[in-house]
Amino acid sequence: MASAEAVAAVVEAGGAHVPALLRRLEARLLEIAASHGTVLAEHAGTTIAAGGKRLRPLLVFVAAGPAPADSEAVLRAAVAVELVHSATLVHDDVLDAAPLRRGRPTVVAAAGRAIATATGDLLFSRAFAELARNRSVEAVRVLSDASCALAEGELLQREDAWNLGVTRERYLRRCELKTARLFQAACALGALHGAAEAVEPLARFGRRIGLAFQILDDVLDVSGPAERTGKHRGTDLLDGTVTLPLIIARELDGSLAALDVRAVRTPDQAEAVCEAIADTGALDLARAEALTMVGEAKSDLPSLPAPQQLALELVADGVVDRYA
Ligand code: IPE
Ligand code: IPE
Ligand code: MG
Ligand code: MG
């Protein structure tokens, strides 16, 4: 999803306050990245300046509604969520040995494991420092729960690496922990600092679109192309991560069922397996599962003021548009 398009759609739907909040978010993120020594300034700075869709802060803003009691608190929550997300990406690229992120070399590729680990740690710490300023124990608990889930999800992914016996249930559990819980937290934090109504239903909405988002990310890893995703095609295969497209493709195709993932070692080999997965139709099936989740998330939204409801629906559609 191009964030400009998503934001434009959300703004049209009644989120006229959103562009100003996003500008303040960017300024604050850059300020934080620049303020903790040269290492953080260089590596956290490039991670943040490389962009990203800012989908989670957008969810915080939209979940908070157009007239929150304390817009500074909403902004700080959005900053905190994006910092946790950025920290996780920096650490994730260490664990996944990923070379490319947001179209640029990852911190681990550019500066090594020690610096990438420290950069991620610093970003995490800054996230909680920012959120603590809201003086809400509940808010800190929500973000802390999501961060614990992220760590658990990453460990589950390593535990299941190269394991072709991974079931859908186990795969979805991993997606829930490593991705959906932070989307859930973004919505919960927005609701908490906004109208403070509908925290639970909005959190549930966030969780569902987060699950769909990870499934679509896994589809994109197989479909590519790198120019569009900012990541090499087949990165998941190369680090042994078994995702829904491969799980489905193996059910459909005997030669993929017999595949030894450990034998997939080079980007060219990964590319060939990606083609074979695509040929089974598994990408469309995986995508359909994600679309169903987004549909359920939208239809289960509580009754909210019409502009806010529409804005939330548009963010959910933006998650799906990633694939288009
Ligand atoms: C990437 O998230 C990590 C996943 C949960 C799949 P995004 O695709 O939102 O990353 P950026 O922030 O836009 O780079
Ligand atoms: C999502 O998993 C990363 C986290 C939520 C930590 P991926 O490993 O699929 O994310 P990308 O593909 O590297 O962005
Ligand atoms: Mg990764
Ligand atoms: Mg991925």
CA of 280 to the centre of ligand 1 (A): 26
Find the DSSP H helices in 50-177.
55-64, 71-95, 107-111, 113-132, 137-159, 168-175
Taking alpha carbons only, the member of 145, 148, 154, 206 closest to residue 175 is 154
CA of 173 to the centre of ligand 3 (A): 16
Number of H helices, E strands in the chain: 19, 2
Decide whether any atom of ligand 1 lies within 6 Å of the 96 Cβ.
no
The two structure tokens encoding residue 144? 């802390």
Decide whether any atom of ligand 1 lies within 6 Å of the 55 Cβ.
yes
Nearest CA to ligand 1 atom 5: 179
Taking alpha carbons only, the member of 242, 238, 248, 227 closest to residue 271 is 238
CA of 88 to the centre of ligand 3 (A): 9
Query: Which residue type sits at 271?
Result: E
> Would you state the pLDDT for residue 2?
46
Taking alpha carbons only, the member of 189, 103, 92, 95 closest to residue 142 is 189
Nearest CA to ligand 1 atom 11: 52
> Would you state the pLDDT for residue 39?
79
Distance CA 160, CA 246 (A): 14
Distance CA 188, CA 303 (A): 16
- Residue of 47, 107, 179, 244 best suited for mutating to test ligand 1, as the one with most atoms within 8 Å of CB: 179
- Residue of 22, 26, 46, 55 best suited for mutating to test ligand 1, as the one with most atoms within 8 Å of CB: 55
Of the chain, the end-to-end C-alpha distance in Å amounts to 8
Task: Give one DSSP letter per residue of 245-264, joined into a string.
Answer: HHHHHHHH-HHHHT--GGG-
Distance CA 195, CA 293 (A): 26
- Residue of 107, 152, 160, 179 best suited for mutating to test ligand 2, as the one with most atoms within 8 Å of CB: 179
Decide whether any atom of ligand 1 lies within 6 Å of the 45 Cβ.
no
Decide whether any atom of ligand 1 lies within 6 Å of the 217 Cβ.
yes
Pocket of ligand 2 (CB under 6 A): 88, 92, 96, 98, 150, 154, 178-179, 217, 221, 231
CA triple 67-294-226, angle to 5 deg: 100
> Would you state the pLDDT for residue 9?
72
Distance CA 33, CA 45 (A): 5
Residues 136, 192 contacting (CB under 8 angstroms): yes
For the chain, which ranges sit under pLDDT 70?
A: 1-8, 10-14, 196, 322-324
CA of 93 to the centre of ligand 3 (A): 5
Nearest CA to ligand 2 atom 12: 217
Nearest CA to ligand 1 atom 14: 52
Taking alpha carbons only, the member of 26, 45, 25, 24 closest to residue 122 is 45
Decide whether any atom of ligand 1 lies within 6 Å of the 181 Cβ.
no
> Would you state the pLDDT for residue 13?
67
Q: Which ligand is closest in space to the CA of residue 81?
A: 1
For the chain, the maximum distance between any two Cα atoms, rounded to a whole number of angstroms, is 58
Secondary structure element (H or E) that encloses residue 317, with its range: helix 306-321
| Helix/strand/coil percent split, the chain, to 5 | 75, 0, 25
> Would you state the pLDDT for residue 305?
86
The CA distances from residue 250 to 165, 179, 256, in Å, are: 10, 24, 5
The two structure tokens encoding residue 43? 């590596």
The CA distances from residue 100 to 87, 111, 161, 284, 304, in Å, are: 15, 13, 20, 26, 40
